[in-house]
């Protein structure tokens, strides 16, 4: 098992290296250099262009060097010094901007995963064991509805319903009274009153998809000879279903960590803008619109690393619950 984990981690190293090259290439895509973009933005904002500031930027990012030298300095600073550079848009270190929003992004993603698993698992088991019943057809309809409605549109619908029929504004994670207060019990309760909205919006599509996937796996398992043989020997139907087919159906749940991580991170960007959430998504969108490419590139690199990490975690958990996977690896 330890060998399997080490192999998975080692396999991820060249993937992250390739991702970093692609990310830095995206930073270089806008016409002109990063320095030209800064000059244009400062001029449009009516700020006097400081030559000393431009020289410091050129030295900091090696803008007068080749692509390879610029990439080497960028990735070296990140790995050895944990230095992500400075955002000219916010005039602050990038690590501070990301550090303020990353915990909220991970927290909402974690709660969304819990929501998806807790809702989709019992529904998928019910749908598979009650095939074509009214409940199965109802959940199938709701599933297709959840997959078909975009997350941001669902968020807008909830905001409209909350304002029109209940007189409340659905947006943000805190009400105005607690937004700038220090943490206390009242602020925690206020957070719980608001956080269910983004969790529900982000988790709808993932829940619907996982229900369909797990239902299909269970239906295939219920047709296999070992299930028929167990039932023929007099074992109860519920015992057979929960002891064997349901155990095999856990694989899609665990693998969903790696599959849904990109969906939650990318999908949460627009939803975060709509719901005014303090996550990384709005920060990345504003950086791209303003062509603050080092900020946008660092966020993209971080998101990619989180996706790779999620895939590694799902692979390890799959190997734990299903020995066939690690045996094949050996």
Count of structural domains within the chain: 2
Same domain, 258 and 216: yes
Same domain membership, residue 65 and residue 13: yes
Same domain, 255 and 121: yes
Last residue of a domain, one of 94, 124, 147: 94
174, 241: one domain: yes
pTM: predicted TM-score of the whole model, two decimal places: 0.81
Final residue in a domain of this structure, among 39, 60, 94: 94
> Which of 94, 123, 146 marks a domain boundary?
94
Q: In this structure, are 124 and 70 located in the same domain?
A: no
Residue whose C-alpha is closest to residue 196's, from 112, 280, 281, 103? 112
- Whether the pLDDT of residue 94 is over 80: the answer is yes
What is the rounded distance in angstroms from the CA atom of residue 310 to the CA atom of residue 259?
Answer: 8
Do 3 and 319 form a contact (C-beta atoms < 8 A)? no
CA gap 242, 253 in Å, rounded: 15
Residue 263 is predicted with a pLDDT of 63
Q: Which residue range(s) make up the domain with 116?
A: 101-329
Least confident of 67-76, 99-108, 247-256: 247-256
Task: Summarize pLDDT for 42-58 with one digit per residue, the tens.
Answer: 777 676 767 777 777 77
250-302: pLDDT as tens digits = 777 777 777 676 666 655 788 888 888 888 888 888 888 877 878 888 888 88
Residues 197 and 294 in one domain: yes
For residue 259, what is the domain's CATH number?
1.10.3720.10
The Cα 77–Cα 82 span in angstroms is 6
């Amino acid at each position: 098992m330890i060998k399997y984990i080490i192999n998975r981690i080692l396999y991820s190293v060249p993937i992250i290296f390739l991702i970093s090259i692609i990310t830095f290439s995206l930073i270089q895509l806008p016409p002109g250099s990063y320095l030209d973009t800064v000059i244009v933005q400062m001029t449009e904002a009516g700020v006097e262009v400081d030559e000393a500031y431009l020289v410091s930027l050129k030295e900091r990012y090696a803008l007068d060097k080749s692509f390879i030298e610029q990439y080497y300095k960028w990735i070296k600073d990140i790995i050895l010094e944990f230095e992500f550079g400075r955002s000219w848009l916010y005039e602050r270190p990038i690590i501070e901007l990301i550090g303020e929003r990353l915990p909220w992004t991970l927290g909402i993603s974690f709660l969304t995963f819990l929501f998806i698993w807790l809702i989709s698992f019992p529904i998928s088991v019910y749908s598979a064991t009650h095939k074509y019943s009214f409940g199965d057809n109802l959940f199938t309809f709701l599933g297709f509805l959840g997959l078909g409605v975009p997350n941001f549109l669902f968020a807008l619908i909830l905001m409209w319903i909350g304002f029109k029929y209940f007189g409340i504004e659905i947006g943000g994670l805190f009400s105005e009274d607690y937004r700038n207060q220090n943490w206390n019990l009242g602020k925690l309760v206020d957070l719980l009153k608001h956080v269910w909205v983004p969790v529900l919006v982000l988790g709808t599509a993932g829940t619907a998809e996982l229900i369909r996937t797990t239902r299909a796996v269970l239906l295939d398992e219920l047709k296999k000879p070992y299930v028929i043989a167990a039932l023929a020997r007099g074992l109860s139907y519920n015992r057979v279903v929960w002891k064997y087919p349901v155990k095999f159906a856990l694989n899609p749940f665990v693998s969903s960590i790696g599959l849904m991580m990109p969906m939650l991170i990318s999908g949460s960007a627009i939803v975060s803008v709509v719901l005014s959430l303090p996550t990384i998504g709005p920060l990345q969108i504003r950086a791209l619109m303003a062509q603050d490419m080092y900020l946008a590139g660092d966020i993209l690199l971080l998101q990619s690393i989180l996706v790779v990490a999620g895939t590694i975690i799902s692979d390890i958990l799959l190997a734990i619950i299903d020995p066939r996977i690690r045996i094949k690896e050996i």
